[in-house]
Amino acid sequence: MRSSNPVFATLERDRAYASAEVASYRGIVFKTLTLFIAAALSGYIVITNFMNEQNIIGWLIGSMIVALIAVIVASRSVRLAMPFAFIYAAAEGVVLGFVTVLAEAFVEGAAITALIGTASIFLVMLFLYSSRTIRVTTRFRRIMYGVLLSILVFFILYGLLSMLGVYTITSPAIAIGISIFLIIFGALMLALDFDRAESIVEGGADKRYEWMVSVGLMVTLVWIYIEIIRLLIILSANRN
């Protein structure tokens, strides 16, 4: 697995390209934008027409489960990557819609700030990667994998301790520090994802792999967006 993003894991094993059409950067960009538009429409439609106080938890949990299943299928099957990429985008759109509405209730303008922040991080990391200021080496990948595993272990343990009432983070400084760290980590994940996209294009992969790369990029960008939202809420609560 050359990328810290699990969506790309299967691409390391599968080298059979059945189509005469090959992947391109333009195709990856177009598909990624298409998925984000689908997510935005899905979130808007559900939030404005179907979600209310009685069923909001059901919609949220259901969307998270569907998104998880869809991203796993899209990352494992080239044939099913396109339809399940849209299923993932639609389900993730509901989650993002809920997060955005919640954030706006706490911090006015949080959504546009998070969007600008996410886009800025993406463009900066793309520049740093394309200019080779950041080089994705074997050591870099190993460090990222180790940090990713540590993050997963941390959240699992923290979740268990919180459920048991043993420990919760009450210090604003710690919460802010964790959020900033996760944003930086998400930005570095983009470098690994750019490296994976480059290897797909330069290796002449089947054009259908563009959907898998696009889903992977979307997962990382959603990570960054949500972490920026969380940071804005923490900063606002700390000021108040």
Quick: pLDDT tens for 108-153.
889 899 999 999 999 999 999 999 999 888 899 899 889 989 988 8
Q: What is the DSSP string of the chain?
A: --SSSGGGGGGGT------SSB--HHHHHHHHHHHHHHHHHHHHHHHHHT--TTTHHHHHHHHHHHHHHHHHHHHH-TTTHHHHHHHHHHHHHHHHHHHHHHHHHHSTTHHHHHHHHHHHHHHHHHHHHHTTSS---HHHHHHHHHHHHHHHHHHHHHHHHHHTTS-----HHHHHHHHHHHHHHHHHHHHHHHHHHHHHHHTT-BTTHHHHHHHHHHHHHHHHHHHHHHHHHHHHHHH-
pTM summary value: 0.84
Confidence of residue 1 (pLDDT cuts 50, 70, 90): very low
